[in-house]
Amino acid sequence: MAYFFTSESVSEGHPDKVADQISDAILDQFLAYDDKARVAVETLVTTGQVVIAGEVRSDVYIDLQTIARKTIKRIGYTKSEYQFDWNSCGVLNAIHEQSEDIKRGVDRQDESEQGAGDQGMMFGYACNETENYMPLSLDLAHMIMRTLADIRKEGKLMTYLRPDSKSQVTVEYDDNGEARRIDTIVVSTQHDEFDSDDDAMLARIKEDVKNILMPRVKEQIHSEKVLALFDDDIKYLVNPTGKFVIGGPHGDTGLTGRKIIVDTYGGKGAHGGGAFSGKDSSKVDRSAAYAARYIAKNMVAAGVADEMLVQISYAIGQAEPVSIYVNTYGRSHVSQSDGEIAEVIKKMFDLRPRAIERDLKLRQPIYSETAAYGHMGRKYEKVMKTFESHYHETKTIEVELFTWEKLDKVDEIKKAFRL
């Protein structure tokens, strides 16, 4: 019997994502001037107010207020009528030094034996239904949000758009787990009050979503198989409440780490519960989740399975993982069992925290780019980033973004499994 699966995404202007982006911008600023910094920063945003809290261990001083304001401005909260704008919001700093009890569990004389910054289990997932090995419903939801943000920033069409928005995509699957069609697309976007008639505003936004937004989304899809899933029977639900003028941190308080399913796999696979943004890579919540995605993606790309979930678990202060688990959902193409695949992974990948940091180059200031539109399924690339400070020299650094998306283990995996 056919079934339906749904994933959602949110824009960079969503309150929770504003919080994530401020936290990761602060992390990047610390790493740009101190690549050994230990950072765990949480941000809360609400009407006219930003609260930054957490723990940091670093020798450098960072102007948190300037970083927060620049981030908010870049996102697009630049008008006083939003009740939250970069120039006038208050910024409260409640950061203190990292706990010595955590420090003693992480630091080691032999850096290679660095302990995990916390206990927990982290998951990585990949499937072959999209070119970037991500679930189709989430990939499309992210694409809708990125495209809507591009239209807003261009300022030529849909000029009533405000920064806060959400999307949701429901895909119908057949009995074999193959995508059959797209059933429902939900788009909720904050907007100016551009007409005294609420019904007229809603009608205009619906028309623009169908005739401006969605054609631009489809232009970015290169797979004929995915394009064929769009038909005339798709249900479009646009601003279902009828009006969305009050939004952003004024409409709903935002908090770092509250969009962990948007950040990962849209509900496919599994999630260990740990958030990413604001945490340096000594926190395995972040680094091991990236490593698990790296493993799962390379395994699926090598043909080991059509779909794979990888779990890695740790105890605080210990270097070696407590366990490694693999689930191929009965879609494996090798003779080994899932348990035996896990044993191959254990031998092939060094999953000690320091090794993950080294191999994926996670001590770079690369995290602001992860804080909206998902941490997984993104494009690996090298870019130049410039960091300015009132207290330090301006630095321009070449960094590698989304290293966990590289497919550089495929040949080794094929050899190991004789594919």
85 assigned ligand-binding residue: no
Q: How many CA atoms lie within 13 A of 219 on its CB side?
A: 7
Structure token digits, residue 59:
């020798």
259 assigned ligand-binding residue: yes
Among the listed residues 26, 140, 128, 120, the one whose alpha carbon sits nearest the alpha carbon of residue 72:
26
CA 70/CA 35 separation, integer angstroms: 22
Reading phi first (left if > 0) and then psi (alpha if -120 to 50, else beta), residue 303 is in: left
Neighbours of 418 (CB within 10 A): 7
Environment class of 48 (CB within 10 Å of its CB; exposed 0-12, middle 13-18, buried 19+): middle
98 assigned ligand-binding residue: yes
42 assigned ligand-binding residue: yes
Neighbours of 151 (CB within 10 A): 19
252 assigned ligand-binding residue: yes
166 assigned ligand-binding residue: yes
283 assigned ligand-binding residue: yes
- The full 3-state SS of 370-408, as one line of letters, equals HCCCCCCCCCCEEEEEEECCCCCCCEEEEEEECHHHCCC
392 assigned ligand-binding residue: no
Planar angle of CA 123, 404, 69, nearest 5 degrees:
95
218 assigned ligand-binding residue: no
Structure token digits, residue 327:
């689930």
16 assigned ligand-binding residue: yes
73 assigned ligand-binding residue: no
Residue 91's Cα: distance from chain center in Å? 25
343 assigned ligand-binding residue: no
> Which residues contribute to the annotated binding site for K(+)?
42
> Which residues contribute to the annotated binding site for Mg(2+)?
16
> Which residues contribute to the annotated binding site for ATP?
14, 164-166, 243-244, 252, 258-259, 275, 279
> Which residues contribute to the annotated binding site?
14, 16, 42, 55, 98, 164-166, 243-244, 252, 258-259, 275, 279, 283
> Which residues contribute to the annotated binding site for L-methionine?
55, 98, 252, 283
